[in-house]
Amino acid sequence: MYQTDFCHIEYLKDIDAVLCTWKQFCQGDSYRDPLRYGLALLNEKECQNWITDTTNGFENSPEDTAWLLNEFIPKTIESSCKKLFFIIEPDSPIKDEIESQAEALRKFFTVHLCKNMDALKVQLS
């Protein structure tokens, strides 16, 4: 498990998923280190599911978006991950950003946008 003021990362054995829960805005290594940890956990567990809880989400800085696209996503594509899930409220202020990311990621993964963990578990069954 990885825990900071900004993010919580854990492996959920019952659904074979790495869960990344954002708590508040961050950038630079405060943003990147949790994702690096989650990717290592994904590889260690040979996990097929990555969940990002965006309930307290935020827009990324341009530098972190570039890092996400150029470094994190390619490494995730090479991992055991097959499905990406975003927990996002229908009225989230970052809904357009997440939908745009989801569309691009569908080239490599099965992507689901879910309003909560219960809806996500339905998608997994």
pLDDT for residue 58: 85
Domain ranges of the chain: 2-124
d(CA 10, CA 109): 20
Task: Render 31-54 in DSSP notation, one character per residue.
Answer: HHHHHHHHHHHHHHHT--EEEEE-
**Domain 2-124 belongs in CATH node 3.40.50.720:** no
pLDDT at 125 over 80: no
d(CA 88, CA 51): 11
pLDDT digits (tens, 9 = 90+) for 38-70: 999 999 999 999 999 999 988 889 999 899 999
pLDDT-derived band at 10, boundaries 50, 70, 90: very high
pLDDT for residue 60: 87
